[in-house]
Amino acid sequence: MTIEQMRHTVPAAAALGLLLLAAPSYAQTDGSSTKEPNMTIAQVPLTGPPLASVTLRGAAEDQSIRPFHFRASDEALADLRRRIAATQWPDKETVADATQGVQLATMEKLARYWLTGYDWRKAEARLNALPQFITQIDGLDIHFIHVRSKHKNAMPMIITHGWPGSIMEQLKIIGPLTDPTAFGGKAEDAFDVVIPSMPGYGFSGKPTSTGWGPARIAGAWDVLMKRLGYTRYVAQGGDWGAVVTEQMGLQAPPGLLGIHVNMPGIFPNDIDAAAFSGAPTPSGLSDDEKVAYERLRFVYQKGIAYGFQMGLRPQTLYGIADSPVGLAAYFLDHDARSYELIARVFDGQSEGLTRDDILDNITVTWLTNTALSGARLYWEYWGKGYFNAKGVSIPVAVSVFPDELYPAPRSWTERAFPKLIFYNKLPKGGHFAAWEQPAFLVQDLRDGLRSLRSTDRASQ
């Protein structure tokens, strides 16, 4: 279902209230209303700063920027609960650990809380308190959060989420980035933040033809930033967000000052190929390189079954579009360390994530029916290399979290990024850094990109 199909009438007063709340920097030109049973969207075309008429493929298209508001229908939430309650459960795994996959006990606890304790309306309110918009790029509706800092000379930054993810991953870092003085920072640390939903994910449109891979998304993000009036900016990402952000670095569009990634593609091609084949650890590696190699080999051999499935046959995954518990289990099985953390959360332990964090993210995908449209991104990029060095030549900052899929060694990081301006190993955190350890990531973004602020001012 496309965004155009997901529409519902919005009273004029409510639409105006949303406009005043979410879009103080744009001028309203006209209004429209639409209908769909599962959500409410306020879409008011707006005018922005004067911009060059540029799209990825050169075709003229509507460049308006429209406010966005989401409300799941009561019927959709009741159907979600009905499906959870009607889950047909499998037998318990025959081992005492997670080597066969997501454990039955964890899923039963998740389902019980999802059914009896979880409140989607709280997550919905958090989203709708933020300025959200829709704009069309290369024929596809792109949804994004756009929060401008109150501080002068804030650095514009576009942040890309990953899989199994959504914009929910980044909500915790918006306040500290845009209003640093309220979170222990200085005014000169401020960022304007743009957080888009990737094509096929969350509230963005679903591609109806092939071609929306990371390189095309990277080009679309540059169009988006310039459409918002930003001529100079930085980009950040982890997971797929790192792949997209590194593609932006490869494309190096005018105005992209540099990038920050927390899952850097750093492996030399021969090392990456050896890990993929399951070969023994090569001789001559440093201790840090050995750890990174062995962790990557484990990912390829034991930890990325979902990647093979989605990379080769994403359309076969009808089960995760039909069963909320099936979707949740599939999302929990991203990587061993993240799963261990999530299992502890549902055992009642205090971690960087909460039960609500985890279910907010899954519920967005369920309510927008984007499990398969998101999965196709793996098919689009299959065989092109997730973790190998790409050849980025613009300035790059890197954060290394200890429970990432692999801890990137400084040696390979420096080889992969000849203009490495920042490298930092954090004491705690894993793959979903913005979600799990927002304070560490925010500080690294402040420190890691600070030198580009002086570069930007000197060039103006």
Would the pLDDT of 46 be above 60? no
Would the pLDDT of 52 be above 50? no
pLDDT value, residue 459:
56
Rounded to an integer, the average pLDDT of 338-348 is: 96
- The band of 61, judged by pLDDT with boundaries at 50, 70 and 90, is confident
Beta bridge partners of 32: 43
Residue pair 226/149 in contact by the 8 Å Cβ criterion:
no
- The band of 24, judged by pLDDT with boundaries at 50, 70 and 90, is very low
- The band of 454, judged by pLDDT with boundaries at 50, 70 and 90, is confident
User: Please, what's the b/e burial string for 8-38 (b: 16 or more CB within 10 A of its CB; e: otherwise)?
Assistant: bebeeeebeebbeebbeebeeeebebbeeeb
User: Which tens digits make up the pLDDT trace of 430-447?
Assistant: 999 999 999 999 999 999
Among this protein's residues, is 91 annotated catalytic? no
pLDDT value, residue 370:
98
- The band of 273, judged by pLDDT with boundaries at 50, 70 and 90, is very high
C-alpha triplet 174, 176, 181: angle, nearest 5°:
140
Would the pLDDT of 25 be above 50? no
pLDDT value, residue 458:
53
Average pLDDT, the chain: 88
The shares of helix, strand and coil residues in the chain, as percent rounded to the nearest 5, are 45, 15, 40
- 382 DSSP 8-state letter: T
User: Which tens digits make up the pLDDT trace of 73-118?
Assistant: 999 999 999 999 999 999 999 999 999 999 999 999 999 999 999 9
Beta bridge partners of 260: 236, 397
- The band of 457, judged by pLDDT with boundaries at 50, 70 and 90, is low
pLDDT value, residue 350:
87
Among this protein's residues, is 146 annotated catalytic? no
Residue, of 11 and 317, whose pLDDT is higher? 317
Beta bridge partners of 398: 261, 423
pLDDT value, residue 45:
30
Residue pair 10/40 in contact by the 8 Å Cβ criterion:
yes
The two tokens of residue 411 are 């040696």
| Given the residues 143, 151, 260, 431, the one annotated as active site | 431
Looking at the chain, the whole-number percentage of residues with pLDDT higher than 70 is: 86
Minimum mean pLDDT range among 19-33, 95-109, 272-286, 354-368: 19-33
- The band of 259, judged by pLDDT with boundaries at 50, 70 and 90, is very high
Alpha carbons within 13 angstroms on the beta-carbon side of residue 103 total: 17
Minimum mean pLDDT range among 55-69, 216-230, 317-331, 366-380: 55-69
pTM of the shown model: 0.87
| Given the residues 330, 378, 381, 386, the one annotated as active site | 378
Minimum mean pLDDT range among 22-31, 49-58, 62-71, 87-96: 22-31
pLDDT value, residue 43:
31
Among this protein's residues, is 118 annotated catalytic? no
CA–CA dist 338, 341 (Å, integer): 5
User: Which tens digits make up the pLDDT trace of 398-420?
Assistant: 999 999 999 999 999 999 999 99
Residue, of 41 and 260, whose pLDDT is higher? 260
Rounded to an integer, the average pLDDT of 451-460 is: 71
Q: Rounded to the nearest 5°, which phi and psi values hold at 73?
A: -70, 155
| Given the residues 239, 272, 357, 403, the one annotated as active site | 239
User: Which tens digits make up the pLDDT trace of 344-362?
Assistant: 999 999 899 999 999 999 9
Rounded to an integer, the average pLDDT of 296-308 is: 94
Would the pLDDT of 29 be above 50? no
DSSP string, 319-330: HHHH-HHHHHHH
